[in-house]
Structure 1
Amino acid sequence: MVQKRIIRIGIGIIVGIAIMIFRLIQIQLYDTKSFSHRNIDLIAESVKQRSQQVVIDNGRGKFYDRNMVPLTHEAIPTLVLFPFLNHMEWDVEELAKIINVPSSDILHSLEDAEGPVMFGEPNPIVLTQEQMNAINQLEIPGVFAVEKHFDRKITPAAQLIGVLGENPEELKKRYPDKDIPVSTMIGISGLQKSFDEFLLQEESTKLIYHVDGRGAPLFGIDVKYVTQSNPFYPVKIQTTIDYDIQTKAEELVDKHNIKIGGLILLDIETNSILASVSRPAIDITDPYANNGIKNMMHTAHIPGSVFKTVIAAASIDHQLISPERMFNCSVTIHGEVDQQYDHGMLNFKDSFAASCNNTFATLAMELTEKDETIIETYAQLLGLNEINGWQGDIYHFEDFKQLSDEEKGYVYLDDVERKDSKLNAQTGIGQQSVRITPLAATNMMATIARGGEKKMVRAVESIQYNNGTDLYTFPIKKLEGDHISSYTASKLQQLLREVVTNERGTGKSLNNLPYTVAGKSGTAETHRKDENGNELLNRWFVGYFPYEKPKYAMTVVNLDVTEGEGWATPLYKDMVKFLYEMDQ
């Protein structure tokens, strides 16, 4: 009996030891980088416990504007002090002289420090190059002048650039064959997501020293400078954004109190985004709050009268208009007396300038009687119901898209709408099911300004190695498919200019600006109401300038505003003035 009990106890001990040995093998050999359900990197955590460090650069690729001004970070030359200075004699007076502060301030910053400190935190001191050189020439252990990369508190063009986050499941899904720490930040939206594989965090650059359990130096007071083993990384993404224009655009959007909507500006020659502002703004602590992560410039909205440009192009080509033809612009699209507008009988040119609904409802019905797909065809010719952002094959990426979150516009939801003349009347004035993005609307204006030539929109100009040489340059590319003729484009140019110069024009407040503007306004009914029962509207102005020698195409859109407020033209006017002054 006793013998059996001893055997059972012995077996239990052996099993227990075997379990412990298996667990040790699991920890030491197999799960060192993804231990437990939380995927803890045991090696990294062990190093953290035995070291104190200052990360100078996290190792992820960075975004820059077209002139290589940093967009996602600021490189600040600052002073780093290590806490072991508290336990040694060093020339604090000489350091104080270089940075022009009392030595007591320096010593005070080290009191009770458990790790390295940046002098002056939370607003670290900014050093000159001369100060940096002088500090490092002192060769005091634990005293370093370094250029540290700080994330910007507010990223310009935040929705276009996108946000980062930790997502171990998505990380594994995207990169199943890569051995990457589960804590690696990845792009969740915008260009951060599109270019994630190029930007993936490599080895960080840091100052590091090892400590014992009490925080004392383990191997003396030598501080190591650890940097990338590959001099070509991290890469730099050179966007097409202009930092100065972007900053002003954001300032003006907020000045004009745009809560939902924004502004997008293209360089017509290169078809590149110079500025992109989307509201609501992102709350970096909760990017999904209030839809802040969503880029409203890449989202399809009801365009209203902006869409009349499509009907105008089709009507020109199919000879539905002549100088003599008149339209009754004192009635609604249903033939009832218009209680809001009483323009009387107008020709086509004046109808476009005044944005007469009855004219374009009539033309839309006549066009679809000829061909029920004709409106969709002309929307396609002007790029409104296709992807406008740059796409193509680069390296092993097939059909790489710069703007991965761009929505495609559309005209109809089903065949019933195509065949119904009354619904087509609504379609002709940019209502019913019509949806377009501000990006596509801006590109339509650029296309017309160029005489009908469609191009893809670029947000990124190049990917550069860390040493400044090009890894890949994104060429200017044409949008595939047919486009409007140069004749049709020239006629549309004249009509768009009439919107601003005609006494009936809906954009006449933009006349007499230093840059001559051509464009089209739009006020769309959303068939939704606010909490007070007021109808919500989308207000647009899309256009290009200067008219004689087009340089910029721009869209301003103010969404979910009520009657009598939220006009797009005041912001448009201020941006045109700013760009003119900047160009001088």
Structure 2
Amino acid sequence: MEQKDKLDKSRVIFLVIGLSIIFLALILRIYYLQFIRGEELLSGALKQRGRQVLTSPMRGTIYDRKKRPLTNYEKVPTLLVPKKELLADKELFDMVKEGTSLTHREFTSRLNSNEGLLTLPMDEDFTLEGDRKNIFLIDIVNRYSKDNLLSHVIGYINKSDNRGESGIEKVFDEFLNIQGLDSFIVEYDKSRQIILGGSYLVNHANEPNNPSGVQLTIDKEIQELVEEIMDRRGHKGSVIVAEVETGDILAMVSRPNFDQDRIEDQLKDENMALFNRAIQVTYPPGSIFKIVVLLTALEEEPAAIKEEYYCKGFEEINGIITKCNGYHGNISLEEGFAESCNSVFIQLTKELGPKKVIRMARKLGLEERVNIGLLGEKPGNLPKDNELLGAAVGNVALGQGKIEVTPLQITRLMMTVVNKGIYKPLAIIRGITNQEGQLLKEYNREDEGRIISEEASLEILKMLRQVVLSGTGKNMDLEDLGGAGGKTGSAEGVLRGQEVIHGWFSGYFPHNKPKYVITVAIEDAESGSETAAPIFEEIAKAIVEIDY
């Protein structure tokens, strides 16, 4: 009897264990089907009985410094219409053709596709007239704005696999490439007719605290106004706006712009629209490099500075004549800097020796990448060894020849001077966020550090102020803003095989308590004072209007 009880107990235990294993297997199977393969199975089912149209991008949002979205915020009215019904109804066809935002070629291409249900972007004021039960007008959220705001920083994706191809999209692809966003389902019956009442929205909520977004230091409002100014003026080049106190980059604009949704159109563009000219193109800095010459003298050899120089309108070095922008006669160093006198700085560079000047340029970071987290940044180029001999002294004095820098490097130089000799790391990435824009992890920055003495910086700031008051930047009217300081530059360069002049202006405002540094670099310009400086002035005035 006792043995039989033990046998019954064993059977019960085995039965419970067996049922538990079966139950656990069912739970695991359900979990696998729902959470692991859910999206795949839904997609497969829809292929059999309907169509899924994503109403929001399958990418996390990129935010500005104030948590304003820079992606995923523009809604486009979109018409879902069966192609057969569209082609069979002339009134409907004419209404849709008139109301779509597609070009004639794009509209025709959609009609010739194999899609039974067409997805057509419409004009903002489009309304669907009449009783159209099988046709749907829904809002689809675009990944990018119609103006392609901040395109060179944000980058773009490969639509075939939803992967980031450039910019922030590529750098943070593992966080931004999220799955299961909102979609609109259109169901069909067995004869492929749309089922009335069988269409509905599906909302997929991601875990709210999962990292799925990126916050930048960009100020959307400042970025918009700088882009508007550059577009209106029609120049090729770039602009960087940085905050003096923090090192945050508030705007980074490169022109020409490109369409983030039509990358294939840009691949053979000779204007290099896909290049971020703020970080991926180097230029000779021209007279902005005179800041480096001055710092070399102030920091390393103050005795080389004369009380007065003499400009005869040109300088001759080893038989090579370099002209000045005028005949200045007797002129002080401060006046020579304000007037951008080539003779003064060639004479000073001869006294210092070009090797010392280049050593200072390296100390200021003009040969290395700034490393703000964007891909493709180019380092600067500085002459070495034999490239510093003979007539090369003229190129070193004037920021020409083998000397090439990015606008971002010039911004760092100006920031160091304005911060009284302290290197304050520039940044464009604030960190990783959740889907609500809450910051989860800050992006690492380099440490601050003194590069040049406060005394030398203050002396440079005085001279930068004189450029705007009485020198090559005197046509700017910024005194109502608290004044400004800066340096123009006009550099000879080669663009697509043609010799051109690149125009620079890098400066700060207000003068007494600098808040912003702005660098403007314009390709194929008349000069820095005639092309770049007016852009600096307009941007500064526009920023003040929204900042105060």
Q: Do both proteins adopt the same fold according to a TM-score greater than 0.5, normalized to the shorter chain?
A: yes
What is the distance in 1 between the residues matched to 2:325 and 2:306? 26
Opposite residue 316 of structure 2, the aligned amino acid is H
Opposite residue 542 of structure 1, the aligned amino acid is S
**Is 1:214 aligned to residue 186 of structure 2?**
no
Structure 1 residues 77 and 432, CA, compared in 2 at 3 Å: closer, same or farther? Answer: closer
What is the distance in 2 between the residues matched to 1:69 and 1:126? 28
CA positional deviation for 1:301:
0.9
Question: Residue 333 of structure 1 aligns with which residue?
Answer: 315
What is the distance in 2 between the residues matched to 1:331 and 1:456? 40
Q: 1:556, 1:572 within 8 Å by CA — same for their partners in 2? A: yes
CA positional deviation for 1:423:
0.7
Alignment of 1:281-296 (within 5 A): 281-284=257-260, 285=262, 286-288=265-267, 289=269, 290-296=271-277
Structure 1 residues 262 and 81, CA, compared in 2 at 3 Å: closer, same or farther? Answer: closer
What is the distance in 1 between the residues matched to 2:324 and 2:136? 76
**Is 1:411 aligned to residue 408 of structure 2?**
no
What is the distance in 1 between the residues matched to 2:201 and 2:477? 63
CA positional deviation for 1:304:
0.5
CA positional deviation for 1:144:
9.4
Gaps of 5+ in 2: 1-39, 86-94, 100-110, 128-132
Opposite residue 387 of structure 2, the aligned amino acid is E
CA positional deviation for 1:68:
2.2
Deviations 1:342-377 (A, max 9, x none): 0112111111111111222222233237xx3x2233
Q: State the TM-score, normalized to the length of structure 2.
A: 0.76
Question: Residue 365 of structure 1 aligns with which residue?
Answer: 350
Gaps of 5+ in 1: 1-40, 87-104, 128-139, 167-182, 391-401
Deviations 1:233-264 (A, max 9, x none): 57222212222211111111122221x21211
**Is 1:191 aligned to residue 168 of structure 2?**
yes
Q: 1:463, 1:472 within 8 Å by CA — same for their partners in 2? A: yes
What is the distance in 2 between the residues matched to 1:81 and 1:337? 67
Structure 1 residues 237 and 324, CA, compared in 2 at 3 Å: closer, same or farther? Answer: same
Opposite residue 57 of structure 1, the aligned amino acid is S
CA positional deviation for 1:47:
4.4
CA positional deviation for 1:146:
6.7
Question: Residue 332 of structure 2 aligns with which residue?
Answer: 347
Deviations 1:379-407 (A, max 9, x none): 133232222233xxxxxxxxxxx222221
The worse-fitting range, judged by mean Cα deviation, of 349-358 and 141-150 is: 141-150
Alignment of 1:397-476 (within 5 A): 402-412=373-383, 414-418=384-388, 420-474=389-443
Question: Residue 25 of structure 1 aligns with which residue?
Answer: none
CA positional deviation for 1:223:
3.6
Aligned to 2:391, what secondary structure does the other structure show? helix
CA positional deviation for 1:559:
1.0
**Is 1:573 aligned to residue 542 of structure 2?**
no
Aligned to 2:184, what secondary structure does the other structure show? strand
Question: Residue 134 of structure 1 aligns with which residue?
Answer: none
Structure 1 residues 489 and 526, CA, compared in 2 at 3 Å: closer, same or farther? Answer: same
Structure 1 residues 52 and 377, CA, compared in 2 at 3 Å: closer, same or farther? Answer: same
CA positional deviation for 1:444:
1.4
Question: Residue 263 of structure 1 aligns with which residue?
Answer: 239
CA positional deviation for 1:473:
1.8
What is the distance in 2 between the residues matched to 1:446 and 1:553? 7
CA positional deviation for 1:546:
0.7
What is the distance in 2 between the residues matched to 1:68 and 1:379? 37
Structure 1 residues 581 and 455, CA, compared in 2 at 3 Å: closer, same or farther? Answer: same
Aligned to 1:582, what secondary structure does the other structure show? helix
Question: Residue 9 of structure 2 aligns with which residue?
Answer: none
Aligned to 1:567, what secondary structure does the other structure show? helix
Q: Which of 463, 467, 487 is residue 495 of structure 1 equivalent to?
A: 463
Question: Residue 25 of structure 2 aligns with which residue?
Answer: none
Alignment of 1:87-106 (within 5 A): none
Opposite residue 144 of structure 2, the aligned amino acid is D
What is the distance in 1 between the residues matched to 2:211 and 2:126? 24
Deviations 1:522-559 (A, max 9, x none): 0001156987xxx4101101111111001000011111
Q: 1:184, 1:201 within 8 Å by CA — same for their partners in 2? A: no
Q: Which of 154, 158, 171 is residue 151 of structure 2 equivalent to?
A: 158
Structure 1 residues 230 and 214, CA, compared in 2 at 3 Å: closer, same or farther? Answer: farther
What is the distance in 2 between the residues matched to 1:223 and 1:267? 47
**Is 1:302 aligned to residue 293 of structure 2?**
no
Structure 1 residues 572 and 321, CA, compared in 2 at 3 Å: closer, same or farther? Answer: farther
What is the distance in 2 between the residues matched to 1:42 and 1:332? 78
What is the distance in 1 between the residues matched to 2:286 and 2:231? 24
Question: Residue 122 of structure 1 aligns with which residue?
Answer: 122
Q: 1:141, 1:221 within 8 Å by CA — same for their partners in 2? A: no
What is the distance in 2 between the residues matched to 1:254 and 1:81? 34
Q: CA RMSD in A?
A: 3.6
Alignment of 1:141-152 (within 5 A): 148-149=141-142, 151-152=144-145
Question: What is the aligned residue count?
Answer: 469
Question: Residue 252 of structure 1 aligns with which residue?
Answer: 229
The worse-fitting range, judged by mean Cα deviation, of 232-241 and 438-447 is: 232-241
Opposite residue 287 of structure 1, the aligned amino acid is Q
Question: Residue 69 of structure 1 aligns with which residue?
Answer: 68
Opposite residue 415 of structure 2, the aligned amino acid is A
What is the distance in 1 between the residues matched to 2:239 and 2:167? 16
Aligned to 2:198, what secondary structure does the other structure show? coil
What is the distance in 2 between the residues matched to 1:277 and 1:263? 5
Aligned to 1:54, what secondary structure does the other structure show? strand
Q: 1:306, 1:430 within 8 Å by CA — same for their partners in 2? A: yes
Aligned to 2:475, what secondary structure does the other structure show? helix
Structure 1 residues 254 and 145, CA, compared in 2 at 3 Å: closer, same or farther? Answer: closer
Aligned to 1:69, what secondary structure does the other structure show? coil
Question: Residue 14 of structure 2 aligns with which residue?
Answer: none
Structure 1 residues 322 and 189, CA, compared in 2 at 3 Å: closer, same or farther? Answer: same
What is the distance in 1 between the residues matched to 2:72 and 2:533? 33
CA positional deviation for 1:432:
1.2
What is the distance in 2 between the residues matched to 1:293 and 1:579? 27
Aligned to 1:501, what secondary structure does the other structure show? helix
What is the distance in 1 between the residues matched to 2:414 and 2:511? 11
Q: 2:488, 2:529 within 8 Å by CA — same for their partners in 1? A: no
Opposite residue 188 of structure 1, the aligned amino acid is E
Q: Which of 305, 311, 316 is residue 293 of structure 2 equivalent to?
A: 311
What is the distance in 2 between the residues matched to 1:56 and 1:541? 44
Opposite residue 447 of structure 2, the aligned amino acid is K
Q: State the TM-score, normalized to the length of structure 1.
A: 0.71
Question: Residue 512 of structure 2 aligns with which residue?
Answer: 548
What is the distance in 1 between the residues matched to 2:349 and 2:44? 67
Opposite residue 359 of structure 1, the aligned amino acid is V
Alignment of 1:32-71 (within 5 A): 47-48=46-47, 50-71=49-70
Opposite residue 194 of structure 1, the aligned amino acid is V
CA positional deviation for 1:80:
8.0
What is the distance in 2 between the residues matched to 1:548 and 1:570? 21
